[in-house]
Amino acid sequence: MSITLKTSYQPLTEKTAIALAQQLEFFPSHTELHCREIGDGNLNLVFHIQNNDQHGIIIKQALPYAKVVGESWPLTLHRATIEGNYLKNSVPLVPGFVPKVYHTDKTQALTIIEDLSHLEIVRSGFIRGKDFPLLSLHIGKYLATTLFFTSDFGLNQQEKKVLQQEFSNPELCKITEDLVLTDPFFNSETNNFEPELSDSVAEIWNNNTLKLEVAKLKYKFLTNGEALLHGDLHTGSIFASDTETKVIDPEFAFFGPVGFDIGQFFANILLQAITRTEVNKDVILSHLHQVWETFEKTFTELWITSSVEAFTKTEGYLQHVLRNFFKDAVGYAGCEVIRRTIGLAHVADLEEIKPYEKKIATKKLALAFGQELILQSEKVTSTQEIEALLNKVTEEI
């Protein structure tokens, strides 16, 4: 649709969200509509609107501040435009793995997408013990395809430079730079952790070798625009069922190091793995193995069939590129595991563990494992070695 709202920015309510859906003619006139605000994140309002026939849409509106902090932490509304453009750019590449975009509005910071209510947020499903058998196969293909075709290997270098300007996203990148790649490694006021973790946290803050490796990762995040990233690819940003997978919430999208997106997914799989018993841990770890195997296979196929870079025919170059992607992914995964444990934004995988003593023990494991991922990223060469590292740290804790 091409309708543009004329009024200045106003946060929607359930009532005004219905009025907007009617104004934009998503439903026949005089249709009875039902609306719920279902957002569970920190940055947006999300409205699910349905008629009596269960036909629906999702309206997402960016807020000008972070809900976790309040209006004292202002945020740009431009991230809604970034999100809409990312989805529009991705639909031709991976139509099955991102939602259809019906409408965007820059003034109101809106993105309206297809109804995904028949799917489940992956993090919630994992916590309940559910498996999504095709998840890692789909995410591996999604990552390889979107990253390849926005890199210098799959996109003309001049076109890529133009696209980079469209996805300049300094405000949201600053959140990642601070909350993922800086604050958890220093005594920052944004950190949030239980007193029982103080000794483990102090160990991180005082480990200069660890901080040097994180500094390298942060510098690469700041300077290495390899491909267009989702930028926040955790299990709360993916809807799935036994047969479908849809990646949502790409408002952090920007051109950065390929390993960051891969590492985010690795980390959130591993955060779930450390909460599980030996009996059912293998199921979740199978996603770790399959996502990399699928990524590697798909990226290699695209490298052979769709490259626009002459040097991709040079023997050994592909192996060098994939090795660097994986090394970065392991390091970024370690940063994500640590920040989700002691940083500002935690995850339900850890927070919902009961009893309290078990939660603290699991968080100590997460912190120890996160450190090892960062410190061993140069040496670890496969997901099987990541699993072995997890087992080793578990035995030592």
The pLDDT value given to residue 71:
65
Least confident window among 63-67, 165-169, 280-284, 366-370: 63-67
Least confident window among 177-181, 196-200, 278-282: 278-282
Least confident window among 141-155, 190-204, 234-248, 275-289: 275-289
* Whole-structure pTM value: 0.95
Question: In whole angstroms, what is the distance from residue 79 CA to residue 276 CA?
Answer: 35
**pLDDT above 70 for 89:** yes
Share of the chain above pLDDT 70, in %: 96
The pLDDT value given to residue 205:
98
Share of the chain above pLDDT 90, in %: 91
pLDDT band at 72 (very low <50, low <70, confident <90, very high): low
The pLDDT value given to residue 94:
98
- Nearest CA-CA partner of 180 in 363, 390, 172, 207: 172
Residues 294 and 363 sit within 8 Å (Cβ to Cβ) = no
The pLDDT value given to residue 2:
41
What's the pLDDT tens digit per position in 162-195? Answer: 999 999 999 999 999 999 999 999 999 999 999 9
Structure tokens at 199: 């000794």
What's the pLDDT tens digit per position in 334-357? Answer: 999 999 999 999 999 999 999 999
Q: Identify the structural domains of the chain with CATH numbers, from first to last.
A: 14-114 (3.30.200.20), 120-396 (3.90.1200.10)
Average pLDDT, the chain: 95
What's the pLDDT tens digit per position in 24-71? Answer: 999 988 889 999 999 876 789 999 999 998 899 999 999 998 765 656
Residues 38 and 140 sit within 8 Å (Cβ to Cβ) = no
For 8, phi then psi, to 5°, come to -70, 170
Peptide bond into 74 cis (omega under 30): no
